[in-house]
């Protein structure tokens, strides 16, 4: 629908963008295939550009949505697969499977936003299920890197807080569009309490910030925003006093070199990798990314900067900015407050998560255990990020329908001579 209405210049800009993305991944995977002389590399050199093309052109034809958003999402996902294939091919294969699942989940989210006119029953189901899901790791979970937020089911590890992200956004968007703030704010408080018990403070910070900013978007009340920010600061100070690992992370952030071969090792290695990459990088497949602990999740941005350079790192940041800009434009173009808040919440979630992790890697803020959306290794993270994009895409598709309806009404007005 949107395709027909887009002007030729917009289409031309889109075609050249997709061509550049395809060329990038073809040359990058071909280079790695030549290094290893492995068939998997050649297969990826053919498959990834093909998937980018199909994902950008075929998917919007079948299910609607926004092409630019899809192009950027596909680029970032494929970049994650590329970096993982270079550093640890086994992770890359898992990531490709998660990408396939993510595409299916994204399609489901687009369809849900397109089809559902009332979310009331779904929300009444979602809220208790979300709380149970968040409580499960406290009973059956395992503690990894100081946080007890993982579940292991049949050899597959799942992070419930990633799934709850989606339901939190839908619940908040619905509550705020219906102006039922207080009852559902209890739901947010319950989620935050469970996350604090899991010691998953990075996700708690994300949930809280997104809820607060969505409240501001719904009401425009600066007082509540200021009060919430003050409350958040108070809670952060309390967390600092209560949790030893928070104190340790703040100390590392302030001076990672004080204990560079122990507690500050991760951050120091990340900073050294970024510095050694320089402006242009050391080259794909070169350097020593494996010396950075958790190079495949939290510190994947440092690996990108080392191999492709700071200029490319800034390009990746600019792509997140473009993605957030597009999401905000879609949210502001929505004619229903529920859809507007949903798209804005999803955009805020992705934008804040990117800021929190890249800020942590660059030593702008203390490091928290969140992943870089679309790029970091992790099935739950990739699938939930693609679901967030699916929600934004669904709203974009609804906006197109509303614009078509407005055009129809304008024509009807003209017919009756108004």
Partner 1 sequence: MSSEVYQVLSSGLRYWFAALGLLIVLRSFLWLWKDHVDKHRRLRRLPDAGMIGEFVLLSGSGEYPPGTTLPVPREGTMGSVRGCDIPVPEAGLQRLHLDFRWEDRKGLLIIPCRGRYALVDGEEATRKAPGLMGHGSILQVGRACLRLRLFAGLETGYRVRFQEDVLDPATPLRYGAAPLMREEDAPSPEDDPGEEAQP
* Binding window for partner 1 (CB under 8 A); candidates: 51-59, 136-144, 199-207, 321-329: 321-329
In the complex, what is the shortest distance from the CB of residue 38 to partner 1, in angstroms, rounded to a whole number?
Answer: 12
In the complex, what is the shortest distance from the CB of residue 150 to partner 1, in angstroms, rounded to a whole number?
Answer: 34
The angle subtended at Cα 184 by Cα 325 and Cα 323, nearest 5°, is: 10
Per the DSSP assignment, residues forming a β-bridge with 152 are 157
Pick the binder of partner 1 from 27, 233, 255, 291 (CB under 8 A).
27
Each residue 171-210 as x (binds partner 1 by CB under 8 A) or -, in order, gives: -------xx-------------------------------
The angle subtended at Cα 209 by Cα 346 and Cα 375, nearest 5°, is: 50
Q: Which two tokens stand for residue 358?
A: 């890249």
In the complex, what is the shortest distance from the CB of residue 328 to partner 1, in angstroms, rounded to a whole number?
Answer: 11
The whole-angstrom separation of Cα 357 and Cα 335 is 33
* Binding window for partner 1 (CB under 8 A); candidates: 147-155, 265-273, 312-320, 343-351: 312-320
Q: Which SS3 state, helix, strand or coil, does residue 338 take?
A: helix
Q: Does 71 bind partner 1 (CB under 8 A)?
A: yes
Helix (H) or strand (E) holding 142: strand 142-144
Please report how many Cα atoms fall inside a 13 Å half-sphere around the Cα of residue 22, on the Cβ side.
Answer: 17
| Residue nearer to partner 1 on the CB measure, 74 or 209 | 74
| Residue nearer to partner 1 on the CB measure, 1 or 311 | 311
Pick the binder of partner 1 from 140, 152, 257, 325 (CB under 8 A).
325
CB–CB of 306/274 below 8 Å?
yes
CB–CB of 327/346 below 8 Å?
yes
Q: Which SS3 state, helix, strand or coil, does residue 406 take?
A: helix
The secondary structure of 81-121 as a DSSP string is: HHHHHHH-HHHHHHHHHHHHHHHHHHHHHHHHHHH-S--HH
C-beta neighbour count of 229 within 10 angstroms? 14
* Binding window for partner 1 (CB under 8 A); candidates: 33-41, 122-130, 256-264, 294-302: 33-41
In the complex, what is the shortest distance from the CB of residue 404 to partner 1, in angstroms, rounded to a whole number?
Answer: 11
| Residue nearer to partner 1 on the CB measure, 29 or 208 | 29
Binding interface with partner 1 (CB under 8 A): 5-7, 9-10, 13-14, 16-17, 20-21, 23-24, 27-28, 31, 34-35, 37, 68, 71-72, 75, 178-179, 220, 280-286, 308-309, 311-312, 315-316, 318-319, 322, 325-326, 329, 333, 335-337, 402-403, 406-413, 415-416, 418
């Amino acid at each position: 629908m949107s395709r027909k209405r887009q002007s030729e210049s917009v289409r031309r800009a889109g075609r050249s963008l997709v061509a550049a993305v395809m060329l990038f991944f073809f040359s990058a995977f071909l280079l790695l295939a030549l290094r290893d002389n492995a068939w998997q590399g050649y297969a990826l050199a053919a498959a990834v550009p093909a998937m980018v093309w199909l994902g950008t052109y075929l998917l919007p034809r079948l299910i609607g949505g926004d092409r630019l958003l899809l192009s950027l999402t596909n680029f970032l996902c494929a970049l994650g697969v590329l970096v993982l294939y270079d550093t640890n091919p086994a992770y890359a294969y898992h990531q490709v499977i998660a990408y396939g699942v993510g595409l299916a989940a994204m399609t489901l989210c687009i369809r849900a936003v397109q089809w559902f006119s009332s979310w009331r029953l779904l929300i009444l189901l979602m809220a208790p299920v979300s709380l149970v899901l968040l409580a499960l790791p406290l009973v059956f979970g395992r503690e990894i890197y100081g946080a007890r937020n993982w579940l292991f089911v049949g050899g597959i590890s799942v992070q419930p807080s990633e799934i709850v992200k989606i339901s939190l956004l839908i619940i908040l968007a619905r509550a705020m569009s219906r102006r039922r703030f207080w009852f559902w704010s209890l739901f947010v408080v319950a989620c935050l309490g469970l996350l604090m018990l899991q010691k998953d403070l990075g996700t708690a910070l994300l949930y809280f910030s997104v809820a607060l900013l969505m409240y501001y978007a719904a009401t425009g009340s600066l007082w509540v925003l200021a009060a919430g920010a003050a409350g958040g600061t108070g809670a952060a100070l309390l967390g600092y006093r209560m949790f030893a690992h928070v104190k340790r992370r703040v100390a590392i952030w302030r001076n990672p070199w004080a204990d560079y071969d122990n507690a500050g090792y991760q951050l120091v290695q990340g900073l050294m990798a970024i510095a050694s990459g320089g402006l242009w990088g050391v080259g794909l497949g070169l350097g020593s990314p494996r010396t950075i602990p958790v190079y495949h999740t939290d510190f994947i941005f440092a690996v990108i900067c080392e191999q492709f350079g700071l200029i490319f790192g800034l390009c990746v940041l600019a792509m997140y900015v473009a993605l957030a800009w597009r999401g905000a434009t879609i949210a502001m173009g929505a004619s229903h407050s529920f859809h507007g808040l949903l798209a804005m919440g999803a955009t805020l979630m992705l934008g804040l998560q990117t800021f929190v992790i890249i800020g942590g890697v660059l030593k702008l803020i203390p490091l928290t255990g969140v992943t870089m959306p679309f790029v970091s290794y992790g099935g739950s993270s990739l699938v939930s990020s693609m679901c967030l994009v699916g929600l934004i895409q669904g709203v974009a598709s609804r906006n197109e329908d509303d614009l078509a309806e407005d055009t129809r009404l304008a024509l009807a007005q003209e017919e009756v001579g108004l």
